[in-house]
Amino acid sequence: MLIDDNIIDLKINSKIILISKLFDEIIQCQSGEEALNYFTMNSGQLNKLPNLILLDIQMPEMDGFEFLDNYKQMPAEWKANCLVAMLSSTLDFGDIRKAEANSYVLKLLKKPLIPAELAAIFNANFNITG
Amino acid sequence: MTRSPVKVLYIDDEENNLLAFKASFRRQYEIYTANSAAEGLKVLENLPVEVIIADQKMPHMTGVEFFKSITDTYPDPVRILLTGYTDISALADAINHGDIYRYITKPWNDLELHNSIKNAHEAYRSKIDLRNKVRELEKTNDELNRFIYSISHELRAPLVSVIGIVNLVKMEGLYHSSGEYWELIESCSNKLDYYIQKTLQYYKNNKNTSDKSEINFKKLVDEIIDLYSYTDRDTQFNLHINQPNPFVGDAFRLEVILGNLISNAIKYQKDTEEHKIVDITIDVNPFSAEIAITDNGLGILNEHLEKIFTQFFKTKNNKGSGLGLFIVKEALNKMNGKISVKSSLNQGTTFKITIPNAN
């Protein structure tokens, strides 16, 4: 699942993920709220939930860190099947430190998304089930 | 510029003195009088008085006691003490605790008192002006910080999207589909991104806050090499890092310094060189870190050596922004570090750095 308010970045990053062939399906959300709605609507079906969320930091209304606060409240079962990495162009120390300090964030990926970095996350976290 | 007349408060228990003062100065100043410290305080509570003159010898509360009592509540008005007798201990007390600007004996000489009030008012103005300037600067600084933040987001985000698109074009095998256009777009975008990053480094370095964290040089250098060598896999790095002691310093500035020097060492290699080598030696002792970075690259012309640390200095065939080494030097200045450089053309360059250990 990609969460990013910028439609162009959503397009670019979906395409990059598609080409990387690491994931079968990409869910695009233009805001944290939209992503949360998706979770509520599909709460009964674990297989509909994404395995990985790539989360932008700077978004209007609900920013990436606020989304994480909501994510924290989700059932442990969801969280175990749905990991989070942040994806941002930020160079701001505050953001970088905050992302690194958050125990739910696997890694802060820098935009532009590099397939090799995505693959590294994939291999470190999903290599058994594929 | 016309200014409203200076507001002067004169406190004296002798009515005659108050009247005489008014008579002498009412044309030059806006005068308020009070016949006791308590009355004086009432005036202060209601008016922004700029100069206070108080008689020392008054019942209930002396002039010095009055000044002492208002040091915290009304620190701004400038104080002049008036006294009829020379009492050394009162004088010492006044200077030490009452924040007195002038000391004038009674009976006063009109000209002397007038000059004192004038000077006192100037002192008051400069005090206030300075405070306003500081406030203005703090505001500007604040805005600058927000500006930096917005550059790092608003300006860079779309640029990074462009770079992402170019990457996609590469992945889809379209990179060479329109002559060299994609290549040109990529090189322009990378250049712009480089400028944004250097500008941010410069401003972040400029902020006076310095953080003190423990530095593991081995880890830091490995990360930096990882970051910069992905464009160039040919260079061989020889690391000699000897860190028996902990080192405490500013992590951001160290990263900026080492990052710029190491990326330069990689960037300014000779294309013809088969064994591109960068040697990095770091020795940490309880007082400092001694760092040497040597490459066998292009080298620097002797006549350029003095200028390489100046802002926007570039050579004809240099691909840089003229900011890298300038930022290194600025960062070192903030850390009280030193840098020296030795180079011979086509042989290579050595940068030597000493950074104090804040441990």
Three-state DSSP state, B241:
strand
Would you tell me which residues 67-126 of chain A have a C-beta closer than 8 angstroms to some C-beta of chain B? 89-93, 111-115
Residue B152 and residue A16: Cβ atoms within 8 Å? no
In this predicted structure, what is the pLDDT of residue B11? 95
Domain assignment of residue B102, given as a range: 7-108
pLDDT of residue B247: 93
Mean pLDDT over the full length of chain A: 89
B257, part of any domain? yes
- Are residues B235 and B94 located together in one domain of the fold? no
Dig out the tokens for B10 from the structure. Answer: 């004169």
Domain annotation covers residue B348: yes
Q: Domain for residue B170, yes or no?
A: no
Q: How many folded domains does chain B comprise?
A: 2
Asked, for residue B78, whether it belongs to a domain, the answer is: yes
pLDDT means over runs of 10, chain B (359 residues):
80 93 92 94 93 91 90 91 78 79 88 92 93 93 81 84 92 89 90 85 75 88 83 83 92 90 88 88 94 92 85 73 86 92 91 91
Count up the domains in chain A and report the number. 1
Given B60, B88, B108, the domain boundary residue is B108
| Residue B254: CATH number of its domain | 3.30.565.10
Query: Residue B80 is part of a domain; what is its CATH number?
Result: 3.40.50.2300
Q: What is the pLDDT of residue B292?
A: 95
Distance of alpha carbon B159 from alpha carbon B192, whole angstroms: 8
DSSP strand pairing (B288-295 vs B277-284) = antiparallel
Whether B95 and B225 share a structural domain: no
Q: Is residue B298 part of a domain?
A: yes
Q: Rounded to an integer, what distance in angstroms lies between the CA atom of residue B58 and that of residue B13? A: 6
Q: Is the ipTM of this complex over 0.90?
A: no
Q: Is residue B99 domain-shared with residue B222, that is, in the same domain? A: no
HSE (side-chain half, CA atoms, 13 Å) at A47: 1
CATH number of the domain where residue A92 is located: 3.40.50.2300
**Using a CB cutoff of 8 Å and minimum separation of 24, what contacts does B300-303 make?**
B300/B341, B300/B343, B300/B345, B300/B349, B301/B345, B302/B343, B302/B345
CA max distance for chain B: 99
Write out the residue range of the structural domain in which residue A108 sits: 2-126
Inter-residue contact B299 to B349 (CB < 8 Å): yes
**Does residue B289 sit within a domain?**
yes
Question: What's the predicted TM-score (pTM) here?
Answer: 0.64
| Closest residue on chain A to B164 (Cα) | A112
Q: How many other β-carbons are positioned within 10 Å of the β-carbon of residue B350?
A: 16
Choosing from B108, B123, B152, the residue where a domain stops is: B108
pLDDT at residue A130, rounded to an integer: 43
pLDDT beyond 70 at A91: yes
Q: Do A16 and B197 touch (CB under 8 A)?
A: no
Q: How far apart are CA B283 and CA B292, in angstroms?
A: 9
Average pLDDT over residues A38-50: 87
Instruction: Identify the domain boundary among B67, B82, B108.
Output: B108
pLDDT over threshold 60, residue A4: yes
Residue B152 to residue A114, Cβ atoms within 8 A: no
Q: Where are the alpha helices (DSSP H) in B83-216?
A: 88-97, 110-150, 156-171, 181-206
Chain B residue numbers touching A112 (CB-CB < 8 A) = 160-161, 163-164, 167
Mean pLDDT confidence for A55-59: 92
pLDDT surpasses 60 at A125 = yes
